[in-house]
Chains A and B, each alone.
Chain A
Amino acid sequence: MSARFAVGATVRVRAAFPPGHLRTPFFVRGKTGRVTQVLGPYRNPEELAYGRSGEPALPLYRVVFETAGLWDDYRGAARDTTVVDIYENWLEPAEETV
């Protein structure tokens, strides 16, 4: 499947809390970041975990976040970043301004 987001796109991670096996860390849910790399399609781990096929495969992205935006009291440098691999079903388009 073709990737919905291109490198440089601003994306928001869904603020969702479904049950089951998930690979999206809590600390980025609802947060806005930027796509730095499109890694290609990978079978959906949320399905594979239960013995299903994981098809259709999902585009997987490397998304970079400003670390200070992830934690209210982050005490590192403002320039620090966190990069997380996120499957496309967790991403939605977002405005540049956040």
Chain B
Amino acid sequence: MAHDHEHDHAHDHGHDHGHAHQPHPFQPDLEAAPLTHYQVMTQAVGDLLIEKGVITADELRAMLEAIDAKSPAAGARMVARAWVDDGFKARMLADVNGAAQELGIDAGSIPIRAVENTAAVHNVIVCTLCSCYPRLLIGLPPDWYKSRAYRSRTVREPRAVLAEFGTVIADDVEVRVHDSTADLRYMVLPARPAGTEGWDEEDLAGLVTRDCMVGVTLPKSPQ
């Protein structure tokens, strides 16, 4: 009944709530803007691969579905294991991809390094060039991670950016920004919050969000 909905808004019928009932602006459909050069090229390559039988349309669809289905759960499991197992933590800090295999997690072939938050250092990840991000472990990057504002301001004024995420880092703690513009990807290994003594790994993993592993926030203490 989308048409009826639009109709109602286009012709405001004046019931009085004590304020003007403004018709809200339409958000344009994605197709309303002309395609850019690279969008055309991407579409053309996809069509050619399918036409020539290199891949099928269903395989392309399935790949998109698999990429979109990635979540921060795998990364959170790794962080929780590191919190309860010092040996695993050491192996994870040396080689995230190898440590992931121990948990049956495929972290892909791009090398990923974990940087550890401590009482003295808070880490935050940015890619000033584009949106490099350990997708297989923490899912697709949020829109803000790809924004020009985050990419430029996180290296320029990291404490101000963190404060906007509600994360205030004391001046006696080093804020260490990691700009991942090359061949590696980075994730933050947050510190285990107080008050979680005796928790099992699954409950601990529930505290570890995407934003904790980017470093714009901290896992919240349970109390």
| A-to-B contact residues, CB < 8 Å | 23-25, 27, 39, 42, 45, 60, 64, 67, 70-71, 74-77, 79-87
Name B residues whose Cβ lies closer than 8 Å to a Cβ of A.
111, 128-129, 155-160, 171-184
B177 and A60 form a contact (CB under 8 A): no
A59 to chain B, nearest CB (A): 11
A76–B157 CB distance below 8 A: yes
Assess whether B184 is in contact with A25, with CB atoms less than 8 Å apart: no
| B177 contacts A81, C-beta separation under 8 Å | yes
Q: Which of B158, B175, B179 contacts A84 (CB 8 A)?
A: B179
Q: Give A75 to B161 CA distance when docked, in angstroms.
A: 12
Residues of A within 8 A of B183 (CB): 39, 42, 45, 60, 85
Partner of A60, one of B158, B159, B182: B182
User: A71: which B residues are within 8 A, CB to CB?
Assistant: 156
Given contacts A42-B183, A60-B182, A71-B156, contact A82 B176 (CB under 8 A): yes
Q: Which of A45, A74, A77 has the most CB of B within 10 A?
A: A77
A45 to B179, CA, bound (A): 16
A79 CA to B154 CA in the complex, in Å?
Answer: 16
Chain A interface secondary structure, helix, strand, loop or mixed? mixed
Contact between B181 and A25 (Cβ–Cβ < 8 Å)?
yes
**Nearest residue, chain B, Cβ from A81:** B176
| Residues in A neighbouring B172, C-beta threshold 8 A | 77, 79
Contact across chains for B174 and A85 when beta carbons are under 8 A apart: no
Contact of B155 among A23, A82, A86 (CB under 8 A): A82
Q: List 14 A-B contacts (CB under 8 A).
A: A25-B128, A25-B129, A25-B155, A45-B183, A60-B183, A67-B155, A67-B158, A76-B158, A79-B172, A80-B159, A81-B177, A83-B176, A83-B179, A86-B182
Q: Which residue of B lies closest to A21 (CB)?
A: B129
- With A75-B157, A76-B157, A82-B155 given, is the CB distance from A25 to B179 under 8 Å? yes
Chain A residues with CB below 8 A from B173, complex form: 77
What separation, in Å, do the CA atoms of A23 and B177 have in the docked complex?
17
